Structure 1
Amino acid sequence: MCGWHLRTETAGGDGDVVARLRDGMARGVLSFPLTSFGADGSLDLDGFREYVAAQVATGPGAVFPACGTGEFFSLDEDEYRQVVTAAVEETAGRVPVVAGVGYGWAQAARFARIAEEAGADALLVLPHYLVRGPQSGLVAQVEHIAARTRLPLIVYQRDQVAFSLDAFRRVAALPNVIGLKDGHSDLDRLQRLTLAAPDGFLFFNGAATAEIQARAYAAVGVPAYSSAVHAFAPEIAAAFLAALRDGDGARVDRLLREFYVPFVELRDRVPGYGVSLVKAAARLRGRPVGPVRAPLADPTPADLADLERLLSTGLALVSESPQNPENPTPTLTGAAR
């Protein structure tokens, strides 16, 4: 079996992980931390530790290191081990740590074993590499990974992974598959999946900028979401979540109109800005995250100037929050480090 260890029983703490994730998802957005690199592209582990500590201090529902925003696709196995280990140590059990795994199932299982050894609580199964497969192949991909780890799995459907109702039922029936992250925003399909899911199964909104569609997802029973904005401006992410939960539609609309929609329009200018723009914004806030790795590219000077103006607008909106009427306007480098 080429060194694979097949799972013979699910982890004894699965129920605890599900409960902690459900509680965290009810309290706050999900943090997908950026991975810090030096100017030469090398892993900056000290910078990553500082950054994760700042993210955890904002009270996210869970921390998902080495996923898409964390440039999982650019990490080798040793770097991956260091990143996941550091995330586990910096969270210190305060919130669940869900590490990304991906590529084909064989490589995903290698990353799963590393994450398990590093102390991760669960895994996010990222879409497989390059090829499209039939529904039977999508199911088999998850089956192979699930059979080779004791950690609970959350599967991520986006791009070339979109489960049919029958395929979803087969995946959700696997003992250590506990949830689904959706990035397709096909709410008709998603509603069918939520209705077919086992009791206690977790769902969350994984759209590229999830706040844009947060109300629509909540309408089909999926209120929890990940937030790319939380990676660089947790104040803005928190203000939006508070307005959403308070039913303050006017404030939700204003945040969407003046910050989130312009941010999406800026993000859509260049392929890869879904990560590199987020990382540039974090640098503007003084976060030690460094540049992106190729094939991504950092924003152009013109786009960076637009980003800085937009970030200032978003932070100014936070200062008007009814929850913090007397707070001064946050500055670009003013968040906790």
Structure 2
Amino acid sequence: MNTKRKAPKGILGFPIAPFSENNKLDEQKLAQNIQFLLDEGLEAIFVACAAGEYPSLSKEEYEAMVEVAVSVTAGKVPVYTGVGGNIQTSLELARISADKGAEGYLILPPYLVPGETAGQAAYFKTIAESTDLNAIVYQRDNLSLSVATLEVLADVPQVVGVKDGLGNMELNTLLTQTFGDRFSWLNGMPLAEVTMPAYVPLGFESYSSAISNYIPHISRKFYSAVLEGDQEVVHDIYKHVILPINNIRCQRKGYAVSLIKAGMEIMGMPVGQTVRLPILPVEKGHYAEMEAILEKVLERFPKEKTIQSI
């Protein structure tokens, strides 16, 4: 179905899964989240992934999220979905993604049992070859990719990219220098702005930005400064935005998700803080810290203008 064998470049949008107080998916708020990311010029939408609490979604909710994303984007930017974990469920969700009109999917690693190298390669290969969509493989948590694994996947045309969530720069150097532009390279570290300046020289051309859900103009300003070598701006944003927010994110497990929702709520976006177990909402003290940081951020880095919808 899709002959464009290239992963998206630039800043990638990962919308959250807005839940109502009675724990129901709020499709209207999801559509607003996605439209906001489009209006801010993000280069792709990755829906129902980790930021979208993918492991907690029912099949019906997953289908709804993909439908909303495809409808709102209307072909303006690529839509990727999240699949992974259970191999049988992954194959089913891959088919749903294809049926609903997504351009590709991000394949998360299997959990609990990482498997041998050959098993890992077969896992990604089986999912990637199950449809004609583009596939990006994601190393994180209990799975570390190897040259042997990527040698297998290099022969699978559907596999267009590799996303890193481990932060092992020795491994990243080995993989990028071995395979070069056969794959696109994506930075998927939590709060990827923290590490992106170190990733760019290795050939990483895109990253997932959690803060783009609530202060996307900072994401854009920071990434532009990184690419232009403007160290003064990079340092300024590190000091006043990225590192303070990252310090809060590191305080509790699950904050990689719940802190996004807190930031959106603080910035006046109608999503609320409701998250699904085992993730917990941001604690009141940390929420207050986040409010203070964002107030100072907007004073120091005011949004200059609204980017028109692409």
- TM-score, normalization by structure 2: 0.94
Partner of residue 138, structure 1: 120
Partner of residue 7, structure 1: none
Q: Is the 8 A contact 1:236 1:315 kept in 2?
A: no
Q: What's the offset of the Cα at 1:17?
A: 5.0
Q: How does 1:322-333 map to 2 (within 5 A)?
A: 324=304
Match of 1:239 among 221, 243, 250: 221
Q: Structure 1 residues 199-208 or 178-187, which shifts more?
A: 199-208
Q: How does 1:270-281 map to 2 (within 5 A)?
A: 270-281=252-263
Q: How does 1:244-323 map to 2 (within 5 A)?
A: 244-290=226-272, 291-319=274-302
Alignment partners' CA distance in 1, 2:271 and 2:113? 31
Q: What's the offset of the Cα at 1:247?
A: 1.8
Q: SS of 2:218's equivalent?
A: helix
Where does structure 2 lack aligned partners over 5 or more consecutive residues?
none
Q: Is the 8 A contact 2:81 2:97 kept in 1?
A: yes
Deviation string 1:184-218 (CA, Å, 9 cap, x unpaired) is 11122112211222644211111111111111101
Alignment partners' CA distance in 1, 2:227 and 2:287? 32
Q: What's the offset of the Cα at 1:228?
A: 0.7
Paired residue type of 2:214:
F
Partner of residue 64, structure 2: 82
Deviation string 1:36-70 (CA, Å, 9 cap, x unpaired) is 11011101011111111111111111110000001
Where does structure 1 lack aligned partners over 5 or more consecutive residues?
1-10, 331-335
Paired residue type of 1:225:
Y
Q: Is the 8 A contact 2:19 2:275 kept in 1?
A: yes
Count of residue pairs brought into register by the alignment: 306
Paired residue type of 1:47:
K
- TM-score, normalization by structure 1: 0.87
CA RMSD in angstroms, aligned pairs only? 1.8
Partner of residue 155, structure 1: 137
Alignment partners' CA distance in 2, 1:233 and 1:182? 23
Q: How does 1:14-93 map to 2 (within 5 A)?
A: 14=3, 16=4, 18=6, 21-22=7-8, 25=9, 28-93=10-75
Identity %: 34
Moved over 3 A (4+): none
Q: Is the 8 A contact 1:121 1:151 kept in 2?
A: yes
Alignment partners' CA distance in 1, 2:209 and 2:155? 28
1:98 aligns with 2:47: no
Deviation string 1:147-199 (CA, Å, 9 cap, x unpaired) is 32221110000111111111121122212111100111112211221122264
